[in-house]
Amino acid sequence: MTATVNKVRGERRRPSARRRREVRTAYLVLLPFFLYIAIWNLVPLLFGLYLGFTEYNALSSTPKWIGLANFKTFFSVPEYGALMWRQIWMGLLALAMNTVISFALALALNVSSKVKGLFRTAIYVPNVSAVSATTAVFVALLNPLADQGLNRILTSLGGAAVTWNYSAFWMTFWIVTYFVWQRVGPAAIIWLGGLQAIDPSLYEAARVDGANFWQQVRYITLPGLKFIAMYILLTGIIGAMQMFDVVMFISKGNPFGQTDVLMYRIYRDGFINFNLGMAGAESLALGLVTVVFALGYLWLQRRNEDE
Amino acid sequence: MKRIRKWTAVLMIICVCTAIGLSACSSAPSGPQSGGANEGAGQTATSAPQEQQPEGETGEKLSLSIVYMGYNDTQIEAANAKEGGAVSQDHYYMTNREKAEAAYPNIDFEWNDWGWAETLDQRQRAAISANNPPSNIVGESFIPAYANSGILQEVPASVLEGIDPSFVYYAADGKPYAVAFKTSIFMLFYNKELLRKAELDPEVPPKTWSEFQTMSEAITAAGNGEFWGGGIPSFPNNGGALRATPFFRQLGTDFGGNDTINLNDEKVQQALAYIRQMDKNFPAGLGNNNDEGPMWNAFEQPDEQDLAFVINGTWEEASAMRYGVDLGVAPLPVPDEDGKVGNCLVGTVYVGVPVGVSEEETNAFWDFYRNICLSEEQLQYWIEESYAVPLTSMLENDALYEGEDKAALRVAVETLRSGTVTGQAAFLKNDAQIWEIINQQVLARVTMTDDPIDQICAQAQAQIEPLLN
């Protein structure tokens, strides 16, 4: 057995000295980036995981090890389950809307026009605007008074004023609307890149065969955008599971916690309540759920490919 | 290939060790702040660097890293660039700095702008947990958490001489850990013009809960959708709990405090029922909005001014008069039966010194704070801004509160003289999370829904109790 292994090893071609030097140089070139990632990503990630097993309010020098106590709290207090569930469904709703609308926009923008650059810029601008500033405009529009904001338009059209902040439905609606408004641009541009990479001769052939617009979309466009879709959905899942700034600025989780999500709870536990141990435990739980969703999506994708 | 793998392994080990080493360095004790959180008040670090020794002992200057109590260059520039120039509060911070730098040539001052509220809390905690605290800390709502966590030094008795006890924060152990340079309390502000429109005497403000309710309902009815009486705000943030607190205290109760939550108390629920009734005199959604702005605009803005009563700190006086509101000011109404004056400090800025700061630095800071920041000349700036100040000599001096523009401050000072007003209650554990539940799940829910109050309170009580253990 040993002799066989040695024989196999012996058969491997030994890299030349020049090749080894090149590899060494390559690793040395990569070293600063590896260090950067280790310091700014790996160490905080591991420290965050460690915090989940501690009690720490950032007023003492060292976190106190408390084992699984934070996780017991997380799984025994119903509020956390509700927050996780709301993060999932609100996030996925926003993701679904964003994916569909951005795809529709990309189809609309995939035409030759002199002003297409202007439209592309216009849909991208919300993404580079400050969330705090643009949400402030949304909040101003949601003024509950009949003669202010959106209510002014509604009442001038003969409708009744809406007390937006009393309604979980409306606050969720505006959170999702803002999320899509802000993120639809980059997704549309990526879809558009994919659309333009599809060989135009395929469409010509389909038209010759009598395929209509929707048949072309179904049998040429969608299969041709498979990898683009995978990228948009995977990054979208991660983004949706981290959605919190929109909630914080628009509803603050109100009315009375009905639009609160786990990521916003993590922020509050970490940086307002300074219960950093609990925030660490919540982050780990949310991170695991995100990984499960991402892997689930990849598994589904692979199964479809096999079929 | 084997050597390449070996090289790779070595490189990775170097990287990981470097990363761990760097992260460990960032939290390593440094300089004079090497004492831990349990280091006692006034202890001197043995490894204090030379530059932090006072002149006379080593010939080197002492350094003070001051938070909030003086403007840095950028803040001075911003204050001077304001339309109409710097205001009184800007002058307070600018002259604190000028006077300190003139009076203490042996001290190097660093003037830090760390913001306010959450930003300030985050930056102070980051400095404290890195064992690199500034010479002083400031704050309002989070000072109890600091004091009860043992990270503040006890305030020396000499600093508290001549200071009204209402301005001192005493922790659960009964010791003073912070002292404020300004504060305010809540009072009732009203638009006299709207009272006239409802055929009410604008010179006779409500004195009791029932009078307040009757007058507010009369104004709402007379307004018929054009203007409203107003009530007690129940914003789903701390602005709600702060303004509601006086009404609980008037009944001799409170939300709780330390390790107790008190929502099942009948008197708490009685006050909540009153807050629910009064909310009907706001346009729907105004008194419990996430954003407080629309309510203040409704009271103050010249194109609105359609809200008759608001509850706010003394600073409202200057603000409303600036916008031309025909302003009336009165103490908060009290319950009709067994009611007593109850209020809550607001707009208070407490100052303390963290443990781990050297004795020289501590003494130098308190000297600066007491002799400059708390001097009569400097505190005069806060009286101009309608804030009460801590020196008993000023608090008792009626001449300082004469004039029409000081009506609110006069009422506040009279209340403060009773010595019974304290700040918002603080919980020993999970303070911010507990207040969030009170604000959102109790106060806002009481005014947004018709859910039974005892049920709302019981649910919140059950949610809060585990957080106190």
Tell me the pLDDT tens digit for each residue of A70-79.
Answer: 999 999 988 8
A152 touches chain B (CB under 8 A): no
Residues 189-228 of A with CB under 8 A from B: none
- Structure-token pair, residue A9: 């090893």
Alpha-carbon distance B374 to nearest alpha carbon in chain A (angstroms) = 28
Which positions in chain B touch A39 (Cβ < 8 Å)?
A: 19, 22-23
Q: How far apart are the C-alpha atoms of B426 and B142, rounded to whole Å?
A: 9
One fold for B62-181+347-417 and B185-344+424-468: yes
- Whether the per-residue pLDDT at B50 is higher than 70: the answer is no
Report the residue of A165, A175, A276 to disrupt the B interface, i.e. the one with the largest count of B CBs within 10 Å.
A165
Instruction: Give me the domain span that covers residue A141.
Output: 77-306
Quote the minimal CA–CA distance from B95 to chain A in Å.
32
ipTM over 0.90: no
Cβ-based neighbours of B237, under 8 Å, separated by 6 or more: A252, B290, B292, B439
Of B122, B131, B288, the CB nearest to A61: B131
Q: Where are the alpha helices (DSSP H) in chain A?
A: 2-11, 17-37, 43-51, 69-76, 78-109, 116-128, 131-141, 149-156, 168-197, 200-208, 213-216, 222-224, 226-241, 245-250, 262-271, 276-306
* pLDDT tens figures, B305-331: 999 999 999 889 888 988 999 999 999
Residue B32's region, left for phi above 0, alpha for psi from -120 to 50, else beta, is alpha
Q: What is the DSSP letter of B186?
A: E
Which residues are within 8 A (CB) of B318 and not within 5 positions of it... i.e. 6 or more apart?
B385, B386, B405
pLDDT at A14 over 90: no
- Establish if A31 belongs to a structural domain: no
CA distance A143 to A174: 13
- The residue type at B46: T
Chain B CB contacts of A174 under 8 Å are none
Q: Which of B267, B287, B185, B282 is nearest to B227 (CA)?
A: B282
**Interface contact flag, B284 A163, Cβ < 8 Å:** yes
Q: Where are chain B's structural domains?
A: 62-181+347-417, 185-344+424-468
Domain for residue A10, yes or no?
A: no
The correct CATH number of B62-181+347-417 out of 3.30.750.80, 3.40.190.10, 3.30.479.30, 3.40.1180.10 is 3.40.190.10
Question: Nearest by CB to A43, which of B4, B23, B290?
Answer: B23
Type of residue at B362: T
Can you give the pTM of this predicted structure? 0.80
Question: What is the Cα–Cα distance from A292 to A295, expressed in whole angstroms?
Answer: 5
Is B33 within 8 Å of chain A by CB? no
Residue A4 above 60 pLDDT?
A: no
> Is A159 part of a structural domain of the chain?
yes
Average pLDDT, integer, range B451-458: 97
In a domain, A68, yes or no: no
Would you tell me which residues 20-59 of chain A have a C-beta closer than 8 angstroms to some C-beta of chain B?
20, 23-24, 27-28, 31, 34-35, 38-39, 42-43, 47, 57-59
The backbone torsions φ and ψ at residue A167, rounded to the nearest 5 degrees and listed phi first, read -115, 120
A215 has pLDDT over 70: yes
Cis ω before B236 (30° cut-off from 0): no
Tally of domains within chain A = 1
Q: Residue A40: phi, psi to the nearest 5?
A: -95, -15
The domain defined by B185-344+424-468 folds into D-Maltodextrin-Binding Protein; domain 2 (3.40.190)
| Residue A49 falls inside a structural domain | no
- Do the chains contact at A15 and B1, CB–CB below 8 Å? yes
Residue A51 belongs to a domain:
no
Q: How far apart are CA B196 and CA B218, in angstroms?
A: 11
Contact (CB<8Å) A251/B441 = no
Return the percentage of chain B with pLDDT > 90, whole number. 67
Question: Among A125-139, A241-255, B32-46, B150-164, whose mean pLDDT is lowest?
Answer: B32-46
- C-beta atoms of B431 and A273 within 8 A: yes
Contact (CB, 8 A) for B137 and B352: yes
E strands of B82-167, at which residues?
107-112, 137-139
Is the pLDDT confidence value at B23 over 60? no
Per residue in B179-204, pLDDT (tens digit) is 999 999 999 999 999 999 999 999 99
- A121-145: average pLDDT: 90
- Is B7 in CB contact (< 8 Å) with chain A? yes
Minimum-distance CB partner of A31 among B11, B118, B440: B11
Residue B84 has pLDDT above 90, yes or no: no
Whichever domain contains A150, its CATH number is 1.10.3720.10
B111-159 pLDDT, tens digit per residue, is 999 999 889 999 999 999 888 999 999 999 889 889 988 899 999 999 9
Could you say which of A59, A79, A254 has the minimum Cβ distance to residue B128?
A: A59
A225 domain-assigned: yes
What's the N-to-C CA distance of chain A in angstroms? Answer: 41
Does residue B236 sit at the A interface (CB-CB below 8 Å)? yes
pLDDT tens digits, A258-289: 999 999 999 999 988 889 999 999 999 999 99
**Shortest Cα distance from A301 to chain B (angstroms)?**
34
